[in-house]
Every structure is written in C-alpha cells, then in structure tokens.
Amino acid sequence: MNSELIRNDFPILKKECGGRPIVYLDNAATSQKPLPVLEAVYEYNTQGNGNPHRGAHVLAISASEAYDGSKEIVRRFINARSPKEIIYTRNTTESLNLIARSYGETHLKKGDHIVITIAEHHANLVTWQRVAQKTGAVLDYIYVDNKTGHSLKKDLEKINKNVKIVAFAQVSNVLGIEFDPRPLIQRAHEAGAVVVLDGAQSAPHRRVDVQELDCDFFAFSGHKMCASGGIGVLYGKEQLLEDMEPFNLGGDMIEEVREQSTDFAELPAKFEAGTQNVEGAVSLEAAIRYLNEIGFDEIQKQERKLVTQAIQGMQQIPHIRIIGTEDPEEKEGLVSFTVDDVHPHDVAEILSAVGICIRTGHHCAQPLHTYLGIYASCRASFYFYNTEEEVQYFLKHLRTVRSVMGYDD
C-alpha cells in the first residue's frame, strides 16, 4: 500500500498544528473523507439534488436513482440477499434503537432473557435496558477477562432456551478485540434466540458477509468508513423485518392512508419515513467503492502493522497500561490505555498541543470501565491512511506526558 499516495486523497490530513500536519488517531470515533467521496457528494448536490420518490421531474428522478441505486452497492458490500434487507438510518445507534423498539419491545415478554456483553457501547446496552424495563425481560451479561478482554467461557452458559435476543459488537470500541461472532451466533440460534451484531467497528476494517455469519441483524455507520455523517445501515433478515412494526411514521413509508387506518409500504421503505438522506447515501456508495478499490486485505495489513508498532512502543514506556490484550494479532485497529497518575483528558490535551488527535473518556462504554476498575481511558485508533511515522511521533510525545505533568521518572 502506497500510504503517501493515499494520503493525497485526504485534504484534511494536510491541516497543520504547530507547523506540522496533524496526526489523526481518532478513527474509531469518525474517519476522514477522501476526495472521491467529497467529489461524489459535490456532483450530486450540483447536478442531481432533489427530493426522492416524490416527483416526476428530472431532479426528483435523479435523486431517487441515486438513493435506490446505492442500496445495491451496500447489499453487495455485506452480501445481503436482497436490497429489501438494507434499511438506511442515521447511524449505528439509530439502527440498534430501531431493532430494540420494533422487535425487542414487541416480541419479548416477562421472563424472557436478553444477553449482551459487558463491553457493549451504550447504543447496544441502554437500548436493551429499556426493552427489559418495558417488557419484564431479564438483561444478562457475558463478562470478560480483566487482562485479555476475552469473553468468559462460563458465561456462555447464560445463552439458553430462555434467551430471545443475543446482542454484541463484533469488535469492541474499547478493547479493540474481535469477539468471534460465529460460536455465539451458533449457540444463540440453537437456543432459539435472535442475534443482533453491532458492526460499527468491524465494517470499516474487514470484509463482512452477513449470510456467512448468519446474524439476524447487522448495524454499521458510514462516517466511520470514509462516508458522510448522518448515514447508517441496518441489515435485517427479510422475514424478521416483515414481522416488525415501523420505527418512524410519516411520508414515504405508507401504501395507503385512510382516516382511521394505514397500510404500510413494502420493505425497505416501511422503515424510512420522511425525506431520505440522499447525500449520505451517495457518500456511502462512493466510500464503499473507494475501500473496495484499496482492498480490505491491504487495509487490514496496514492497520495490523501500525497497531503492532504502537503496542510494542507503548510496552517500552513506563507507566503506560494497555487495556485488554497486548497481542497485536487480536487488536482491530485501536489501542486503549491509561497513564499512571495522569487523567486521560490531560493526556489528550498534552498530545493535542503537538497536533496528535486521540479520544478520551469512557467511549460510551461506562459499564465496561466500571467493571475494569477505571473511570476513563485514552484511545488511539488507526486507519489505512495513517503511517508508521505518525505512530512514531505519537510514541515520542506519549513518553513525555508524565514529565509535562511534573513527574520525575
């Protein structure tokens, strides 16, 4: 992979701080956008912008074609059976809320069980808390080993005939470790449960085949994979989506409206009320084409190289505590860590002063941090446009954090 050539596609990476280009290591929060994506959005807005599905004029037609045509690209991207199984949302969070509201709250009853992991993002945790509260279901957790981040095997026994939903992230946004979905999916299906897979941190970095995984739902966001903000995807098996109530009500999701009743539109329109985000759909299609052109094998190879360099360098710096496994082969593009006696926000501010962008806080995974006995952490997350030189620069300045805070190491 020619990193320098690729970086030329990302104008924002030329932005300077302190006389040198920024080092952007917050890709797990949101990725940057390449020129082909920016140009596709610009072309749509200057040549084809209209309100889809609502008119017979040329711009309405072009908007409809752009929006509907992008669904086939997304279908192929995750290997869904049909574009009917591709629902556009605002982001992964909205996708998971749609499942919780339109499936969880309508299909669960008192005494049913929901199983999630303690490592879940709040979008895949708070949602199920409310389902449990509204239906009388019980929310159970699969916990992880404090050092490795691996799921505790004994907790898999919680997936039994009483469980109706098993929801978990394919890649944790804190631990960075891939939770191998196949054993959990198989066990869940054997118990008769539906599987919800959060792909926010996996879809941008690896090939996803929802048919091979056999998950029932899969959710991901465009903005984490080089597309615009405000566009997300919910994949659902067609028979499940057909059996679910609409999440939002309004225009374009109806077949016929009478004074006292309504017939809803067929999939996927049934779940896409209101004016659709065509611009977002255009950006997502362009981003998928861009990532496919680079190739996910190359993307993973570059990220693995950067993560390996980062972990090996951090292991040589005193007072750095890596969260989860320290095996680079198990990390998916990110490393979370703490610095002894230094608040994570102070770490981020010190690094930001020299142009390094990382994330701090509990990363919308507060129960995991509580379970691990820490209140917050730092996270450096990488994408294919990052370089070894950037990682070296990050390590150089990470080493100075404690001295900046006045510690004499």
**Sequence-distant (≥ 6) Cβ neighbours of residue 56 within 8 angstroms:** none
Q: Round to whole Å and give the CA distance between 136 and 107.
A: 12
Least Cα distance to 27 among 241, 176, 188 occurs for: 176
Give per-residue burial for 164-201: e unless 16+ CB within 10 Å, then b. bbbbbbbbbbbbbbbbebeebbebbbebebbbbbbbbb
Is residue 110 within 8 Å of 138, Cβ to Cβ?
no
What is the CB neighbour count within 10 angstroms for residue 109? 9
Q: Round to whole Å and give the CA distance between 237 and 218.
A: 9
Q: Is 364 a catalytic residue?
A: yes
Least Cα distance to 356 among 310, 312, 308 occurs for: 310
Q: Which of 17, 215, 357, 364 is catalytic?
A: 364
Q: Round to whole Å and give the CA distance between 131 and 67.
A: 32
Q: Catalytic residue numbers?
A: 364
